[in-house]
Structure 1
């Protein structure tokens, strides 16, 4: 019998092929991507994205959501530690998307040896998105393992609560402005969609709104698309006021049509919010250590995040960390894992989230929190005066999942 061996030089490992049964099933991994993480050629300085994976045997389901970058034409999983480039190990997306797209979901088949390596050392792999402006890579991020299941549709959808759904839950819609509609569509068991519309009932009764179009059909392995599309102001108002008078419609190759009547019942759905630190400091106090020496140890944190989220400790020293949104939704975190992020940077974290505020709002969905792409914030070294404090500026992205 021929046994193939996968040699992963960058990790210093030699892995024998594994069957899908040897991998804990399912496993969830998440990466927070930034242009600053690209190695060699620069990435998009403003761009960010989230890539989430659900690994079941050799089936890899994925969801990708991006912001402040041109739409990707390729998305890959690469072998490589932080700060190094590596070969592509798995294609997730290969081809252009509709211009209204801001996220995709889909599935891919992975070699069992790759699955075993990815699960054993997620941080030894990274996700990379490529577009026309940044052929070598627009945004990149290392993977982290979650300790709870997530619904990948939340990553596909993004941060904000949808206000309209379809009766079979295949569509989530939200007016993004007076003249645009945010949408999330998911499907299974259909030929690749060529378009998505909102159409009046009966068909032709009123003008329709095109949400996306790809005349050649979307990539066959895709199972979802999210984005934002322009809609006539009067039509958008009518859809919002009378959703039951409209269908959400997928048209696929060879003339297939899937219709779902819109519902007046707002959907309950998962979400994923990334909020970066606009101004933040890790706060340390000089305390006496067990051996009698003095050193700075964590006292508190004070940060203002995007979307006006405040981050601090509930109680200095003892914590736990908390995040409070302006709408009074709030969460507290308990650290599950720490991943070093280079000299001079505080570690990246995975935390379990506990609800601690209003039952609805920006953070009310969160069950897990990741602190990613950290810069600075490390405690001062050397001697200090007992009782003195030091504030050290830092940056990070916080990803709220649930």
Structure 2
């Protein structure tokens, strides 16, 4: 991790790191199989920790929220305007959602204790899956205990070593982990570049048994979307499945929050596999796949993440179902969210900030450059009462480090004005104090 450091500064950090470890418990000899420092990324991680120590900076990660992470929250005992959570429609904490979760605990307990295939069903799971399938215009759906695990187990189980997975370069880690598990040939194409996707598919499809085109409906790092109609056409022309990860799309895109297909006027049946999470708009935890009934039934009986994993906890299933019911009944929440997303993006752009390709729905990045500078700005912003997510190397390439603002329908115009003003103040403060070495 260079973090914008000069070569001399990096060497100084390494020396400091070595001295800091000098008083620690004895470690295995360098190069030993028992030496944890040989783990992938451990050196970069250690450099980042040493850089934060040397600069006397607190890590921007693992911030402790004192209570509900809503549009307004408390971190370390201080009130903040919160743009660091995925509570897009303000349903996490909604009384109706809480009551549904409590009623599920009263009836079913906290845990189903085992997998559904061995320990039986709860009607909540079936009701939630029916509602999710209807939401996406699919025949059936299957829930899992984790959104990340959903992609890992489904992609890993669906594809094999003789297959091809073509995916957007900005796809989520859960998708690349699933692809790695499958053993399929994995080809990334430049972000949202469908011409590049076409070239890659045309050159690689012939040698593969099956093919999967994998995109997201709303990219969490950039706040943009793919051209879904072109994705459908490309997949069908090359006899490939199309899978769309709607983790950040459900409740966010489209007039009623049904996602990228509704937003772009595309028939959702052109997509073979819809994936989504329950932890964002639906204020629970878990993931799901919506697709044709035959593939869902096959996954239910064979996917490791279904067969060998505990079922979704009853209060989480109930919370997600209640949230989906509210979303269906109150589309005005979606309109408020989209208005706020555009409002924040436009305010930040007016002040000269680089918001990348954000379409101003719910995700607005501010690209600041070096990792060290971004951490400093995040700290200055938090001191001014605004929480935002920090993304630094190696999650993104160095000089692409950014803050990410996740907007809620529950933010108001004053919140948007204040965050734009305070971000400008924070950047100016860091610019005045930052050492030329970084």
More strand by share: 1
Q: TM-score, normalised by structure 2?
A: 0.23
Structure having the higher helix fraction is 2
TM-score (norm. length: structure 1)? 0.25
Answer 1 or 2: higher relative contact order, Cα 8 Å, separation at least 6: 2
